[in-house]
């Protein structure tokens, strides 16, 4: 599905607010700011081991939320479905030479999909 970094980042986007304050802070700095454990430790004034533990526990909590709620999986499946619809619409529009009104309506649907951030 996704590489480890992207996966944790997506999980954080969906479930980050459910983490403890410290976990949210550490995982956010690691995912969003791309800071190393040493950089986070220096920034927060805690040990590198403390950062490691908070990050490990935060990741475990994110995985547990996903296992129970499945929001990232559902989002991924829906995103892929919309991409497939977009591909199919593109083919239909390119191949269709009939009714201009239908072609315009299909193009309008494709435009809506194209505006979505996938």
Sequence ranges of the domains in the chain: 4-69, 75-115
* 6 touches 13 (CB < 8 A): no
> Is 3.40.50.720 the CATH number for 4-69?
no
Percent of the chain with pLDDT over 90: 69
- pLDDT at 1 exceeding the cut of 60: no
The DSSP string of 64-112 is HHHHHH-HHHHHHHHHHHHHHHHHHHHHHHHH--S-HHHHHHHHHHHHH
Q: How far apart are the first and last CA of the chain?
A: 15
Question: Residues 15, 20, 22, CA angle at the centre, nearest 5°?
Answer: 115
d(CA 25, CA 6): 18
Q: Share the mean pLDDT of the chain.
A: 91
Residue from 19, 111, 112 nearest 65 by CA: 19
- pLDDT at 68 exceeding the cut of 90: yes
Q: Is the pTM value of this prediction over 0.85?
A: no
């Amino acid at each position: 599905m996704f590489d480890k970094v992207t996966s944790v980042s997506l999980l954080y986007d969906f479930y980050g607010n459910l983490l403890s304050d410290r976990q949210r802070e550490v995982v956010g700095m690691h995912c969003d700011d791309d800071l190393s454990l040493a950089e986070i430790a220096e920034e927060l004034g805690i040990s590198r081991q403390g950062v490691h533990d908070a990050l490990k526990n935060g990741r475990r909590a994110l995985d547990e939320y996903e296992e129970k709620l499945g929001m990232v999986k559902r989002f991924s499946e829906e995103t892929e479905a919309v991409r497939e619809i977009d591909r199919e619409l593109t083919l239909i529009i390119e191949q269709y030479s009939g009714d201009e009104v239908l072609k315009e309506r299909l193009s309008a649907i494709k435009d809506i999909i194209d505006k979505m951030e996938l």
